[in-house]
Amino acid sequence: MVESWQAAANARDKERLTALSAEDIEIIGPRGTGRGHGLLTAWLDRAGLATTPLRWFCGADGRVVVEQDAQWRSLESGDVLGRQRVGSRFRVRDGRVIQIERCDDLESALSAAGLDRDDEVVERAH
């Protein structure tokens, strides 16, 4: 589920992304917290962010953390503006993402999700 959500975000596929997200999805970021599909699609329009998943961590109650290689690109030129290894925290319920938070690093994301390194998924079905 989270993998599909990330693929839709990377492809800038608003229709697919909103279908995979709860209507009142909570988005937590460096500029604050907000809710809803409108905020999600506005973020997608301006972010220029693409992520590559590196490691996965899963817990109970739909808690997922993904360590990612994140790249921010200019929407006009495509030039890379920044690159950082980040941690993103997701909550999933009833097959939809209900919450997303991008953290500056893996440890912050794991802490926010109540997970630790022992929750790493070392083998995943594809």
Long-range contacts from 51-56, C-beta under 8 angstroms, 24+ separation: 51/6, 51/9, 51/10, 51/86, 51/88, 53/3, 53/6, 54/85, 55/106, 55/120, 56/120, 56/121, 56/124
Q: Kindly state whether residue 46 falls inside one of the protein's structural domains.
A: yes
pLDDT score, position 126: 58
Q: Kindly state whether residue 118 falls inside one of the protein's structural domains.
A: no
Instruction: Residue 90: give the domain boundaries.
Output: 2-112
Whole-prediction pTM: 0.90
First to last CA, the chain: 12
* Domain count within the chain: 1
Q: Which two tokens stand for residue 67?
A: 């360590």
Reported confidence tier of residue 125, pLDDT bands at 50, 70, 90: low
Q: What is the pLDDT of residues 50-75, one digit of tens each?
A: 899 999 999 989 999 999 999 888 77
Which CATH number is 44's domain given? 3.10.450.50
